[in-house]
Amino acid sequence: MIFQENTPIANTFGINTQSRYFAEYKDISELQEILNSDIFKKNKFLHIGAGSNLLFLSDFNGVILHSKIQGITECRGVASNAHYADEVFLRAGAGVLWDDFVKYTVEMGFFGAENLSLIPGEVGAAAVQNIGAYGVEAKDIISAVETVEISSGETRIFTNEECRFAYRESIFKDEEKGKYIVTSVTFRLSKTPIFRLDYGNLSECPKDLPAIRETIIKIREEKLPDYKVLGNAGSFFKNPYICIAHYEGLKKHYPTLPHYPVNDEVVKIPAAWLIEQCGWKGKSLGNAAVYDKQALVIVNKGGATAQEIKALSDKIIADVKGKFHIDICPEVNFIG
């Protein structure tokens, strides 16, 4: 297995950093070969997708791995997971671009993934991160996740339940972090129409699969910056959960405070609203800025360092805490 040395690390922030070693693999046997190598065993490692959720604070003095496992194939699902009346199971390689996968499902007339159109990144990371948008999360359509255990090189399949998905969370980011590498994901989709159009003004969208994809793409293109033009990593922060008592207290001072009920005790607050109320929307700190059309997004205005982006993030966290007594946490992973 060939390791490249001192390789630029792909990332959507447009920050220039390098990795001491870098290796890609196109199948499980190549991955196992990497895991068995001296270079891998003697260095720290990080597995990346398209780098759409990462902020490298310095060069990475270890091994970066990236999956090139491709292919989308129809397969037999796990019978006990039967969910839709007329369902189809698709197995996609971890290295498939997420939006290529969504495009394929829409072209085939399979329902379930369309609300997740145009999210950057790759299939493997989508499962690890449980990506979500417009009322749907990856967990809603994931049937199983195939992995390789790093210590043994053996394959292991996690069912949806075993992945312990939660809002932007999974077992692969938590208890089993750094122990497994996702090699492919099996999705369960419906051949008969099922629409999820209750988010925002999606209810006005025609009940037609390609039209929903087009509408979502249009909304995203209007609200979210294109990272090829203005470096960014989508939502920089997660939307915080707070207890009802805290929410009721805040609502007295801020009657327009938006919220989404999570359960009887907890509500989710849009971090974008909190950040905007702190006056940060459209504002800069050095070459980093809060996007003027979506306050949850931090952009590289050009030439920003990772430290500048982190400094802006720290300032926003402190201001939201000071004004609302709410801790907001980055969704972006800081590396280094």
Only one of the segments 70-78, 153-161, 270-278, 310-318 lies at the binding site for ligand EPU (rule: CB under 6 A); that segment is 270-278
Is the separation of the CB atoms in 61 and 46 below 8 Å?
no
CA dist 292 and 308 (Å) reads: 18
Burial code of 143-154, b = ≥16 C-beta within 10 A, e = fewer?
bbbbbbebeeee
Q: Which of 91, 117, 146, 168 is catalytic?
A: 168
**What are the residues whose beta carbons fall under 8 Å from the beta carbon of 203, sequence distance 6 or more?**
197
Task: Confirm or reject binding of residue 309 to ligand EPU (CB under 6 A).
Answer: no
In terms of Cβ atoms closer than 10 Å to its own Cβ (0-12, 13-18, 19+), residue 312 is buried
Taking residue 80's Cβ as centre, other Cβ atoms within 10 Å add up to: 6
Q: Candidates 65, 272, 304, 309: give the one binding ligand EPU (CB under 6 A).
A: 272
Task: Confirm or reject binding of residue 49 to ligand EPU (CB under 6 A).
Answer: no
Q: Is 168 a catalytic residue?
A: yes
Is the separation of the CB atoms in 47 and 65 below 8 Å?
yes
Task: Confirm or reject binding of residue 239 to ligand EPU (CB under 6 A).
Answer: yes
CB of 330 to ligand EPU, least distance (A): 10
Q: Candidates 63, 281, 300, 306: give the one binding ligand EPU (CB under 6 A).
A: 281
Q: Which of 25, 23, 27, 32 is nearest to 4 (CA)?
A: 23
Task: Confirm or reject binding of residue 170 to ligand EPU (CB under 6 A).
Answer: no
Which of residues 47 and 281 has its CB atom nearest to ligand EPU in the complex?
Answer: 281
Task: Confirm or reject binding of residue 62 to ligand EPU (CB under 6 A).
Answer: no
CA dist 39 and 23 (Å) reads: 11
Task: Confirm or reject binding of residue 312 to ligand EPU (CB under 6 A).
Answer: no
Q: Is 331 a catalytic residue?
A: yes
Residues of span 110-149 touching ligand EPU by CB under 6 A:
133-134
Task: Confirm or reject binding of residue 313 to ligand EPU (CB under 6 A).
Answer: no
Only one of the segments 20-28, 57-65, 246-254, 269-277 lies at the binding site for ligand EPU (rule: CB under 6 A); that segment is 269-277
Only one of the segments 12-20, 25-33, 185-193, 268-276 lies at the binding site for ligand EPU (rule: CB under 6 A); that segment is 268-276
CB of 316 to ligand EPU, least distance (A): 13
**Vertex 208 angle, CA 206 and 210, to 5°:** 115
CA dist 162 and 145 (Å) reads: 9
Task: Confirm or reject binding of residue 54 to ligand EPU (CB under 6 A).
Answer: no
Which of residues 144 and 269 has its CB atom nearest to ligand EPU in the complex?
Answer: 269
Only one of the segments 83-91, 184-192, 230-238, 299-307 lies at the binding site for ligand EPU (rule: CB under 6 A); that segment is 230-238
CA dist 234 and 236 (Å) reads: 6
CA dist 127 and 185 (Å) reads: 7
Q: Which of 146, 235, 308, 313 is catalytic?
A: 235
In terms of Cβ atoms closer than 10 Å to its own Cβ (0-12, 13-18, 19+), residue 231 is buried
CB of 335 to ligand EPU, least distance (A): 17
Task: Confirm or reject binding of residue 169 to ligand EPU (CB under 6 A).
Answer: no
DSSP 228-273: TTSEEEEESBPPPEEEHHHHHHHHHH-TT---EE-SSSEEE--HHH
Task: Confirm or reject binding of residue 296 to ligand EPU (CB under 6 A).
Answer: yes
Which residues belong to the active site?
168, 235, 331
Site residues for ligand EPU per CB under 6 A: 133-134, 199-200, 223-224, 234-235, 238-239, 258, 270, 272-273, 276, 281, 294-296, 331
